[in-house]
Chains A and B, each alone.
Chain A
């Protein structure tokens, strides 16, 4: 079966760095997405990785290792507004999105 695993909840301190991990098992692979979702709101696109390596976009970076079926989202210089759920989603061989349940990130002052 197809599956996305990510931690349910993480806590970090304002100004610090946090890494949110995601492992995936999909039938074929056409890339991996990260979305941010604030409570009661819709997901918003953060990143898309299809090649191995790290992609940096401001305070947020996303990493992919296809051989390990693994990705992470790295958030630097955490701000209170980064408190949200972070959803990992893999794209299978039929270009269908397989979603994780999300990691709820709690930022403490």
Chain B
């Protein structure tokens, strides 16, 4: 089945220790997104890629970086995680950038910062 896969499902890191989250997709979708979601809050868009064009949201902290080496893979790097970065990180894809294409989400990576 075509899908969006995130690894790992749970990630524990120490305060200030860099961490990388990964996402892969077999849907062949052009657009990939990274969202941060804290408990009982709306998902917050961090970045999105239309093909290889990178789009950074204005309020995404510099501590967060992203890479999309090819169509299938996307990575989220957190350079110096703080306690406030503990959250669920959701990767999503959509067929095109028209907005009305539904998002297909991976199962998420829950990040704990100790």
Contact = CB atoms under 8 A, between A and B. Distances in A.
Interface of A: 4, 8, 30-31, 33, 35, 40-45, 48, 50, 85, 87, 91, 95-97, 99-102, 104
Given A101-B42, A104-B40, A45 B103 contact: yes
Contacts, number: 54
B99 interface: yes
A102 B38 CA distance: 12
The 6 closest A-B pairs by CB, nearest first: A95-B99, A42-B105, A99-B42, A45-B102, A101-B42, A91-B99
A87 B102 contact: no
Contacts of B43: 43, 87, 99
A79 B99 CA distance: 31
Given A41-B108, A45-B102, A101 B97 contact: no
14 contacts: A8-B40, A33-B102, A35-B103, A40-B88, A40-B108, A91-B99, A91-B100, A95-B99, A99-B42, A99-B43, A100-B42, A101-B41, A102-B40, A104-B40
A4 B43 CA distance: 12
A30 B102 contact: no
B106 A42 contact: yes
A48 B99 contact: no
Q: How large is the interface on B (under 10, 10 to 19, 20 to 34, 35 or more residues)?
A: 20 to 34
Residue of B44, B92, B100 contacting most chain A CB atoms (<10 Å): B100
A103 B55 CA distance: 29
Nearest to A85: B40
Contacts of B44: 99
A87 B90 CA distance: 15
Nearest to A42: B105
A45 B105 CA distance: 9
Given A99-B42, A102-B42, A43 B103 contact: yes
